[in-house]
Structure 1
Amino acid sequence: MTSQTEALNRAAGWLRKADGLLITAGAGMGVDSGLPDFRGTQGLWAAYPALGHAKIPFESIANPKAFAQDPALAWGFYGHRLALYRTIEPHEGFTILKRWADRMAKGSFVYTSNVDGQFQKAGFSENSIVECHGSIHYLQCLQACSADIWSAAGFFLEVDEHACRLTNPFPRCSRCSALARPNVLMFGDWAWLESRTERQQARLKYWLGSIERLVVVEIGAGTGLSTVRRFSERHGPRVIRINAREPAIDGPKGVGIQGRAVEVLSALNRLWDI
């Protein structure tokens, strides 16, 4: 079994030799910024006590049916998250990753299941990010009356945090006046409009074709929904998996390093210059 020190040194060596950095990130990436961790029902209910009182699990509130059945509650949940993501500042780990990307001949690309827009806020180019589950900063029609996806920048929110309910008027589709919803892939979601994400994926595919010595840095991607982990492993064998709880990875695919984002990225950053 590879020790933590051996894994760190091997990972630092890969970083020094790489000409392109593929950053893959799950929910654990945002924890060091102070974003809530919805791992398990108790995490959600701790952040949103009104949902806990009503015994509403994440799979039910993060669902298009919630917008149809109780739009004030659904938008209370997503609206609070949108307001949080607009105000919170990305942690130092984002700065470290940006520094590494700037050192590499072909730069970087981000592939993330997070919908929070934190990589853009940290200075990564909008054209070098794939948000595989969409983005809360964009809206679409709940009825999917058209293929339109538009920015949520003009939507300002008033949320009763105690009740987890939106108190100001709902955002509406400009075409049919139906309720608008986040352009985010939810549970049981057959109406998510994915054209924006598809364009992102096409740009990533083109970029990958130009890389000769790729290194993958995966941060905070769990096994509960393993989209990001599988994506990382498809682009091995130099995958650096950083995870506080589930760092395991098959040896031929990369190395696993246990720890939180800022802790491990800072350690690798120190080793880079040795």
Structure 2
Amino acid sequence: MNDQQQAIEQAAAWLRDTDGLLVTAGAGIGVDSGLPDFRGNEGLWRAYPALGAAQIGFQSIANPTSFLDDPLLAWGFYGHRLKLYREIVPHAGFAILQRWAQRMPRGAFVRTSNVDGQFQRAGFAEETVAECHGSIHHLQCVLPCCSRIWPATEFEPQVDEQACRLVGPLPGCPDCGGIARPNVLMFYDAAWLSRRTDAQEARLQRWIGSTRRIVTVELGAGTSLPTIRRFSERHGPRVIRINLREPQIDPEKGIGIQGGALETLVALDHALDQADGAPRR
């Protein structure tokens, strides 16, 4: 048995001996659904050539000042992503996680740095997801003039994808009439309203406090922004780190499995099937 298979067997043993599943996720979990995983400006510019032509980097476009300097460009980027996230179908690995959680007394709770809402779209209950960087599916005032956070359901962005510019009307703040922006934490963002995320994080902490034998499954969380990796490690020593490029972890905190999210979840599910002697549906 090689090291990879040993890690899978150990992970499966932990998953059989837990009362609650803590799922932590970075951008890499969405790759198997067809979502791009930006790794530096090169990845951004491949997906948005207009930004590359203008040499606009990720930290510049994912920045609250972009909504003040050029709101049509800023909403060209975020509007395109909002449409993409609404249309994408989460891959089968999300269903595997849900199926595991249904067998556990305390179920599952998710903490993700992704703003795409894919866990909710896959069927995870809203009250069991904590989005530490906010959600693109909610809006706030760009100033902000107030503490209001509201769903983006009525906003249908019309985007010139080649130019990365919004060509339809800008979303507005219902209180001051100014421009609205996504309720996501951007770079150098003192204007982000964290009230919704704070409530999610409080629910997560209550869940953690009531769960005795947590196993953490971390998916696609990289080191460039290590928020999720650090959170996972604080909830060891049974962390299962699944990562295609950076699976390394302190052995005292968990185990690393090199691979994509979907292929590794399928392999773990198969290992659990073999141990139980019956296939999962």
Tell me the TM-score normalised to structure 1 length.
0.99
Q: Which residue does the alignment assign to 1:13?
A: 13
CA distance in 2, matches of 1:65, 1:171: 16
The letter for the 1-side match of 2:242 is I
CA distance in 1, matches of 2:39, 2:31: 11
Q: Are residues 1:109 and 2:148 paired?
A: no
Q: Which residue does the alignment assign to 1:263?
A: 263
CA distance in 2, matches of 1:102, 1:51: 43
SS of 1:29's partner is helix
Q: Which residue does the alignment assign to 1:247?
A: 247
SS of 1:170's partner is coil
Shift of 1:273: 1.9
Shift of 1:3: 1.1
- How many residue pairs match? The answer is 273
CA distance in 2, matches of 1:170, 1:74: 10
The letter for the 1-side match of 2:44 is L
Q: Which residue does the alignment assign to 1:42?
A: 42
SS of 1:203's partner is helix
Equivalent runs, 1:149-168 vs 2, <5 Å = 149-168=149-168
Shift of 1:29: 0.6
CA distance in 2, matches of 1:57, 1:245: 23
SS of 2:252's partner is helix
CA distance in 2, matches of 1:209, 1:88: 34
The letter for the 2-side match of 1:234 is R
Equivalent runs, 1:1-274 vs 2, <5 Å = 3-274=3-274
Deviations 1:124-146 (A, max 9, x none): 00000000000000000001111
SS of 1:182's partner is strand
Shift of 1:33: 0.3
SS of 2:6's partner is helix
The letter for the 2-side match of 1:144 is P
Shift of 1:37: 1.4
CA distance in 2, matches of 1:147, 1:155: 19
Shift of 1:158: 0.6
Deviations 1:55-91 (A, max 9, x none): 1100000000111000000000000000000000000
CA distance in 1, matches of 2:4, 2:50: 41
SS of 1:241's partner is strand
Shift of 1:40: 1.4
Q: Which residue does the alignment assign to 2:279?
A: none
SS of 1:251's partner is coil
Shift of 1:5: 1.0
The letter for the 2-side match of 1:145 is C
CA distance in 1, matches of 2:31, 2:53: 24
SS of 2:144's partner is coil
CA distance in 1, matches of 2:252, 2:272: 22
Tell me the TM-score normalised to structure 2 length.
0.96
- Structure 1: runs of 5+ lacking an equivalent: none
The letter for the 2-side match of 1:171 is P
CA distance in 2, matches of 1:216, 1:174: 40
Shift of 1:121: 0.4
Shift of 1:179: 0.5
Deviations 1:28-64 (A, max 9, x none): 0100000011111111000000001111100000000
